[in-house]
Structure 1
Amino acid sequence: MQQIDLFKNYLNNHYNFRFNEISSKVEFKPISESNFKSMTDRDLNSLLIEMNHHNCKIKSLDLETIIESDFVPIFNPIKNYFESLPQLTGNENIKKLLKTIDTHDNEFFEWAFTKWLVAWVACMVEDNAINQQCVILAGNQGIGKSTWVEKLIPNELMPYYFAGNIRLGNKDTLGFLSEKCLINLDELANMTYSNVAELKELVTKSKISFRKAYGKFTDNFIRRASFIGSVNGTEFLYDLTGNRRFLSFEVSRFENYGNHNVDMNLVLAEVYSLFKSGFQYWFDANDQKRVEKNNENFRVISPEEVKILELFSCTPLEDNIIESIKEEHLNNIGRNRFESANRISLRKEQVEEEINNLKYPKFKLPFELYQLITKRTPTQGELVKLGKILTKIGFKRKRSSSGTLYEVYYLKPDLSNLD
């Protein structure tokens, strides 16, 4: 028998080993014990001394080589957890969980969060599945948001849960995408526009490649983590071009301040069954429209957008509104008793003509519109942002030799130049 086989026999006779492919760590236990633990450098050195004490004259490098080889079987604790769950059908326990929270739209929440739950499980157990939506729970401080999220994790999966801040673009964050099953973002309220853009990139990231600390090679890792977060207040979405990656819910109440007693093992057993049955956990084009419509409730409205909506419309005013504006302005003419009848008549004609023109569109460059709403010259970045705002609201546009023209209808008559 070769010496290497003697070493392996000793290890097999005294210990159980397994390679945790989630944490990328070797775990071991004495055969007489029940619980595995991650192997540390100290454990490895103790094992080296023990083997040499029992006449297994092994060198440190040889022991490391054995431990880091296929001598140690691969173990996936997350898949093992789901395969050990009871086989349940239906959604009785899922419904119990959904009833522990009241949102601004419970029907939307039950639909969207159920899809997210199945996507969460799919991302954990299916190597090629990606959960591309991040849940955001918005509500007052102290109502139980963080507690409720943490209660989603059964004890068996708690080692693969992370709550706190993540440093976007950091190697540790990339590691979390593979080593964690759920990332709870506590500080969404402090994220800037650029941070949100980076978060959207992380949520949709499918390929993870980096070299771990002390690793010899750059490795490819499987994406397993899903994202959830909480925020105080209801205005936190910045992107004018779309926020379909976020499932946003305004929460008014959690049962028992989030400390619900729903058995998450039974919930996840039902969710796992839905996944295996082919449940559509992804959001198709129609689903995304529904998500975008809901997210309008949570979008940050910029001062420029507020001013645009005060001054302009993308559709013509109705006749009765124009008549009301006309009546208001015409009634104010002639109150000066020193003004001649001819002067009053002329002014009324001018005002009436100007108000009638509200029926017709004006075509304006973004530069002109920006100056109208802010009274200053815009930067190029501000012009780009204004263009996104106008497109988001629904203003029509057309190309011209001068640039892009936007079709706008004034909401108020400009009477400043009238005699």
Structure 2
Amino acid sequence: MSKQGKLRVVDGGASPPPDSESWKEQLTFNRDGNVEGTLHNLILIFDNDKRLAKLWWLNDSSNQIELTRDPPWSGGKRTEFIDSDAYELAAWLQHPKNYNAKCSDEAVLKSVIAVARRYRRHPIRDYLHSLVWDGQPRVEAMLVEMFGAADTTYSRRAAQCFAVSAVARILWEDPKQPHVGAQVDFMLVLEGEQGKRKSSSLRAIFGSEWFVETSESPSGKDFYQVIQGAWGVEIGEMDSFSKGDVTSVKTAITRRVDKFRAPYERVPRSYRRECVFAGTTNEHQYLRDPTGGRRFLPVRTDGEARIEAIKAARDQLWAEAVQMFLAGFEWWLLPEDAAEQQAARYVGDSWEGRVERWVDVRSDPGKYPERVPVTTMRPGAAGEEVLTWCTTDEVLVHAIGLDPGKHGKPEQMRVANILKTLGWETARRRWPDGGREPRWFRVGFDVDGWMSESKRKQLEAVDDVPF
């Protein structure tokens, strides 16, 4: 079946029989006998003149007006209706051999939009609805057999989640909130050496017309306009992204609604998110935020992608993914070892080792404040001694060896991120010894360094822990 699908005609009133000219009787004229440039006249002409009828339509995916054939005022080969077309159309209408209509550019554009909305369609949705699956499973092994990934349970589940989530972004609908897209909280990341055709494989599976490739961070408003009409968006060079860039990517991944001013619209409005994201990188470690790795689904592709095989199987891959979606496949349930895979991609801070040794009391005894032996040493697992609470400044002075005068916000944030990675929590309150400062404390102990009841019961269950 055709990828373009069928036009969905919104009834604008009874149409005259084919080849009939009776519609012209509904035109209105000015005192000079010329066709008035009213919206009524223009819409009537656009709907019935053989040279203009069904010449353009509204793409519900890209929110663009597109041409079905070459317009009478231009012989150029293109599909998108642009501003200059409105001007050319106005001139065409004003020509004495056509309608000699006295119409403005604005009236012409408004009429074009009105008619385009009568002939609107969603090419990607039409494509998915047109597919018929032959019953042969392909999606589960897609990354293994076509993208060059190792044959593991992880890569097979990742392929299923990715394919079905892409279908969900197009077919899932909430009748009460039609402007809200399906929830997809992860992004597939293809890892591999340069030349493994990672980008080409993504372009092949989505199709060139519905694929966007960018290496820009999605922090600007233009990014969200660029992805309109795209089904697959590749974010390349993930390894070059800063922590702030990665945060922007995480935000972009989880959005279900994009708000912007579409072409031909005067005010911004909300549009459902219909694309999925895929990252590519040549590196194995590229995640700089220790708390945000769960948004990424990394897959190592050491083998070279089989582009022609992807193109040949493309329709059947999506046909199967549609059936999986309709059958209720839970695309949001990622592989069981996803967290382990994500953690392996984290680019650790060079301070992390020193901080970890210090809080675990494995550093030189001289690197601890005087209070440590008295107030914060509590029994740990297997009888070990552990540090149960500390402050950011203590870590910077004693673990890192940084002079107090150099404790700026960047340094404090580095320590905070490291402690979060190590599983510590923070609290701010007024302390008995005076002052109000944030303290970090080990999970299982309270902010004063005393063991919580749940932690005590946990340790009591271990035979070799003396109490």
Secondary structure at 2:206 match in 1? coil
2:178 paired residue number: none
The separation in 2 between residues aligned to 1:404 and 1:171, in whole angstroms, is: 48
Alignment CA distance shift 1:247-1:105 (3 Å): farther
1:94 Cα deviation from its structure 2 partner: 5.2
1:151 paired residue number: 204
Q: Please, what is the CA RMSD of the aligned residues?
A: 3.5
Which of 223, 229, 238 is the aligned partner of 2:279?
Answer: 229
Corresponding residue pairs, total: 357
**1:255-281 per-position Cα deviation (integer Å, ceiling 9, x unaligned):** 45x554542111111111111222111
The separation in 2 between residues aligned to 1:215 and 1:165, in whole angstroms, is: 28
Which of 401, 406, 431 is the aligned partner of 1:375?
Answer: 401
CA contact (8 A) 1:240 1:392 kept: no
1:105 Cα deviation from its structure 2 partner: 6.4
2:333 is equivalent to residue 290 of structure 1? no
* Higher helix proportion: 1
1:67 paired residue number: 112
Matches within 5 A, 1:404-419: none
The separation in 1 between residues aligned to 2:353 and 2:167, in whole angstroms, is: 41
**1:328-360 per-position Cα deviation (integer Å, ceiling 9, x unaligned):** xxxxxxxxxxxxxxxxxxxxxxxxxxxxxx943
1:179 paired residue number: 229
Alignment CA distance shift 1:299-1:48 (3 Å): same
Matches within 5 A, 1:241-256: 241-256=291-306
Alignment CA distance shift 1:175-1:129 (3 Å): same
Which of 332, 349, 353 is the aligned partner of 1:302?
Answer: 349
Secondary structure at 2:283 match in 1? coil
The separation in 1 between residues aligned to 2:290 and 2:164, in whole angstroms, is: 28
1:250 Cα deviation from its structure 2 partner: 2.1
Which of 20, 43, 56 is the aligned partner of 2:99?
Answer: 56
Secondary structure at 1:252 match in 2? coil
Alignment CA distance shift 1:31-1:232 (3 Å): closer
Alignment CA distance shift 1:404-1:386 (3 Å): farther
Q: Percent identity?
A: 17
Task: Select between 74-83 and 302-311 the one with higher mean Cα deviation.
Answer: 302-311
1:248 Cα deviation from its structure 2 partner: 0.8
Residue segments in structure 2 that go unaligned for 5+ positions in a row = 1-24, 28-40, 174-180, 363-381, 426-440, 456-467
Secondary structure at 2:266 match in 1? coil
2:166 is equivalent to residue 120 of structure 1? yes
One-letter identity of the residue aligned with 1:298: R
The separation in 2 between residues aligned to 1:208 and 1:294, in whole angstroms, is: 30
Task: Select between 391-400 and 233-242 the one with higher mean Cα deviation.
Answer: 391-400
1:40 paired residue number: 82
CA contact (8 A) 1:19 1:74 kept: yes
One-letter identity of the residue aligned with 2:266: K
The separation in 2 between residues aligned to 1:263 and 1:95, in whole angstroms, is: 12
CA contact (8 A) 1:236 1:298 kept: yes
CA contact (8 A) 2:154 2:336 kept: no
1:27 paired residue number: 66
1:174 Cα deviation from its structure 2 partner: 1.4
The separation in 1 between residues aligned to 2:189 and 2:337, in whole angstroms, is: 16
1:114 Cα deviation from its structure 2 partner: 1.0
Secondary structure at 1:238 match in 2? coil
Matches within 5 A, 1:259-408: 260-261=309-310, 262-283=312-333, 287=334, 290-309=337-356, 359-363=383-387, 364-366=389-391, 367-376=393-402, 377=404, 378=407, 379-391=411-423, 396=443, 398-401=445-448
The separation in 1 between residues aligned to 2:196 and 2:51, in whole angstroms, is: 53
The separation in 2 between residues aligned to 1:196 and 1:227, in whole angstroms, is: 13
1:207 paired residue number: 257
The separation in 1 between residues aligned to 2:386 and 2:185, in whole angstroms, is: 41
CA contact (8 A) 1:94 1:270 kept: no
1:253 Cα deviation from its structure 2 partner: 1.1
The separation in 1 between residues aligned to 2:257 and 2:137, in whole angstroms, is: 32
One-letter identity of the residue aligned with 1:373: A
2:49 is equivalent to residue 7 of structure 1? no
| Higher RCO (CA-CA < 8 Å; seq separation 6+) | 1
1:401 Cα deviation from its structure 2 partner: 4.8
Alignment CA distance shift 1:386-1:47 (3 Å): closer
Task: Select between 224-233 and 359-368 the one with higher mean Cα deviation.
Answer: 359-368
Residue segments in structure 1 that go unaligned for 5+ positions in a row = 317-357, 408-419
Secondary structure at 1:303 match in 2? coil
One-letter identity of the residue aligned with 2:26: Q
One-letter identity of the residue aligned with 2:127: Y
One-letter identity of the residue aligned with 2:90: L
**1:106-158 per-position Cα deviation (integer Å, ceiling 9, x unaligned):** 2201112211110011112334313221111122222222222222123xxx2
- Normalised by the length of structure 1, the TM-score is 0.74
- Normalised by the length of structure 2, the TM-score is 0.67
Alignment CA distance shift 1:36-1:279 (3 Å): farther
1:204 Cα deviation from its structure 2 partner: 0.3
2:267 paired residue number: 217
Alignment CA distance shift 1:18-1:308 (3 Å): same
Alignment CA distance shift 1:172-1:153 (3 Å): same
